């Protein structure tokens, strides 16, 4: 229990996302300030108090730079905004999602077992939301889609139709990463029950969870989530080995044929939705037309102020002046226990264009540069994990989550109750990519005890000079220095 205690605030944040939403805001947009958001604030405070008590430098220079880049872009956009006061909520939101919560997870996760615990909590949340979504489809109590209340949205409601799709996609990517990585494990980590058998059990359970999460993802009818998940899973399979990639791809294809073709789970609606992906240029539906129009509006705002943008939270104010008459007044939302309402279009539904329009090139380079650095550093540590036969599952989960998010940001942006889970996903990726020391913290396992460091050793070149003397003066490179932010295997 003592080992789990530091992670309880993280687990609480994830668990609160299973609670039903409080309903839409007065303007028809998804409400904000959820219980999960409040819990994420307490998580940051808890981590800060822990850092002060430990009296140790919590972050390496690389971690501080990568996590600090978004701060520069966001604050620059807020300062140069024509209405800085209205930009303050945007500053808080960006820092929460891209800096504070990921940084807190980077510091609180100290071992691969902690990483896996948080990862499995995301899978559990996805299973709960996915089950609710499947029930909604089968009973006709979901969000309205094509005139029927069949769209699976979980507890997020019709005003956040991407909420359940995001949660289920995260769970599916995590489950596949845990399953693929478990195949490379040999029970090297002390405490793994049954040696290699522990890895086999993890693989079997993870594959079962992935299979259960496939139907609700399909029934979310979210084209962006489908595309992002396909890309992320393809990358994970490619990184895990060609033979395994071929086997898993065949199994996934067979599963899809059975569920959609054989059992007829949403077959007609799914086929129509899939077909619409290739028809967006020739015969786009209303949602695609609105999206293209808002993308053009965001590009127009950027051309107006290309360096620092029009200001945080300013997209709605400038939208109409940069939009063509093709833009509708809003999107229709209904079903899932709510009455029909018109939801305003307050963002371009493309994170990169939203940043570009509101924060300019400075903000885009800062935020996208931070994400790209995380992905590169995460991929750099994968070969070492595979050679050491430990930590491959963490590496694949981190790479998969980052890839999914970067692809999905081409079709969506932050907003809604599920956004806080994006911060948790980025925190897992940050721990693997930026962790300051390898293996088990010295503070928990002195040199005279067991629990040796886990390969690969921390790469000094990735951090420009080492981790505050970690490994310095240690003849065998054993774990040293502070246990704060103990990094990946």
Model confidence over 273-306: pLDDT tens digits?
665 555 555 556 677 788 888 899 999 999 999 9
Q: How many whole angstroms separate alpha carbon 361 and alpha carbon 73?
A: 9
Q: In the prediction, which pLDDT does 142 show?
A: 85
Of 155-159, 210-214, 484-488, minimum mean pLDDT range = 484-488
What is the DSSP code (8-state) at residue 456?
Answer: S
Angle at 47 between CA 15 and CA 107, to 5 degrees: 95
Q: In the prediction, which pLDDT does 324 show?
A: 75
**Closest C-alpha among 360, 365, 364, 352 to residue 408:** 352
Using a cut of 0.85, tell me whether the model's pTM lies above it.
no
| 383 token code pair | 């070969």
Helix (H, G, I), strand (E, B) or coil at 334: strand
SS3 content of the chain, % helix, strand, coil (to 5): 65, 5, 35
Q: How many whole angstroms separate alpha carbon 338 and alpha carbon 121?
A: 29
Beta bridge partners of 335: 143, 338
For 266, half-sphere exposure in the C-beta direction (CA atoms, 13 angstrom radius) is 30
What is the DSSP code (8-state) at residue 374?
Answer: H
| 445 token code pair | 């396992």
Q: How many whole angstroms separate alpha carbon 338 and alpha carbon 21?
A: 12
> Rg of the Cα trace of the chain?
22
In this prediction, residues 360-367 reach a mean pLDDT of: 95
**474: Cβ contacts below 8 Å, ≥ 6 apart:** 480
Provide, rounded to the nearest whole percent, the portion of the chain with pLDDT above 90: 40
Q: How many whole angstroms separate alpha carbon 149 and alpha carbon 152?
A: 9
- Tallying the residues shown for the chain, one arrives at 489
**Closest C-alpha among 426, 459, 458, 465 to residue 440:** 458
What is the DSSP code (8-state) at residue 305?
Answer: S
Model confidence over 101-157: pLDDT tens digits?
999 999 999 889 999 999 999 999 999 999 999 999 999 888 887 778 888 899 998
Model confidence over 218-257: pLDDT tens digits?
888 888 899 999 999 999 988 887 777 777 777 777 766 6
Does residue 97 contact residue 420 with C-beta atoms inside 8 Å? Answer: yes
């Amino acid at each position: 229990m003592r080992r789990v205690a530091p992670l309880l605030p993280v687990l609480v944040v994830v668990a609160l996302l299973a609670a039903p939403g409080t309903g839409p805001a007065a303007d028809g947009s998804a409400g904000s300030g959820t219980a999960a958001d409040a819990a994420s604030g307490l998580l940051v405070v808890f981590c800060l108090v822990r850092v002060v008590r430990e009296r140790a430098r919590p972050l390496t220079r690389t971690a501080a730079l990568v996590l600090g880049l978004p701060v520069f872009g966001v604050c620059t956009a807020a300062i140069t905004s024509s209405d800085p006061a209205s930009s303050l909520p945007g500053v808080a939101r960006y820092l929460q999602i891209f800096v504070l919560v990921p940084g807190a997870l980077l510091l609180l996760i100290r071992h691969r077992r902690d990483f896996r615990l948080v990862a499995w909590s995301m899978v559990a949340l996805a299973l709960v939301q996915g089950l609710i979504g499947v029930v909604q489809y089968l009973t006709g109590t979901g969000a309205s889609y094509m005139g029927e209340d069949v769209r699976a949205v979980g507890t997020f409601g019709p005003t956040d139709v991407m909420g359940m799709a995001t949660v289920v996609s995260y769970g599916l990517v995590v489950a596949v990463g845990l399953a693929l990585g478990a195949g490379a494990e040999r029970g090297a980590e002390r405490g793994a029950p049954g040696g290699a058998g522990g890895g086999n059990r993890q693989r079997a359970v993870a594959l079962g969870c992935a299979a259960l999460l496939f139907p609700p993802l399909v029934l979310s009818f979210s084209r962006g989530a489908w595309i992002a998940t396909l890309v992320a899973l393809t990358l994970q399979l490619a990184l895990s080995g060609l033979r395994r990639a071929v086997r898993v791809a065949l199994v996934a294809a067979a599963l899809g044929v059975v569920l959609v073709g054989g059992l007829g789970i949403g077959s007609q609606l799914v086929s129509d939705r899939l077909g619409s992906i290739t028809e967006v240029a020739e015969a786009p539906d209303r949602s695609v037309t609105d999206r293209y129009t808002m993308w053009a509006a965001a590009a127009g705002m950027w051309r107006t102020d290309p360096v620092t943008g029009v200001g945080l939270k300013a997209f709605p104010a400038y939208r109409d002046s940069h939009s063509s008459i093709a833009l509708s007044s809003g999107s229709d939302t209904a079903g899932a226990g709510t009455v029909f309402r018109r939801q305003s279009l307050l963002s371009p539904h493309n994170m990169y264009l939203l940043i570009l329009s509101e924060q300019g090139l400075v903000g885009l380079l800062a935020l996208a540069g931070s994400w790209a650095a995380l992905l590169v550093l995460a991929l750099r540590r994968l070969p070492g994990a595979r050679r050491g036969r430990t930590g491959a599952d963490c590496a694949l989960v981190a790479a998969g989550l980052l890839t999914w998010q970067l692809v999905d940001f081409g079709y969506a942006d932050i907003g809604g109750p599920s956004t806080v889970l994006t911060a948790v996903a980025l925190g897992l990726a940050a721990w693997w990519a930026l962790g300051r020391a390898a293996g088990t913290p010295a503070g928990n396992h002195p040199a005279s005890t067991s629990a040796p460091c886990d390969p690969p050793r921390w790469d000094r070149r990735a951090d420009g000079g080492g981790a505050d003397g970690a490994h310095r003066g240690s003849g065998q490179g054993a774990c040293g220095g502070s246990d704060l932010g103990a990094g990946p295997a």
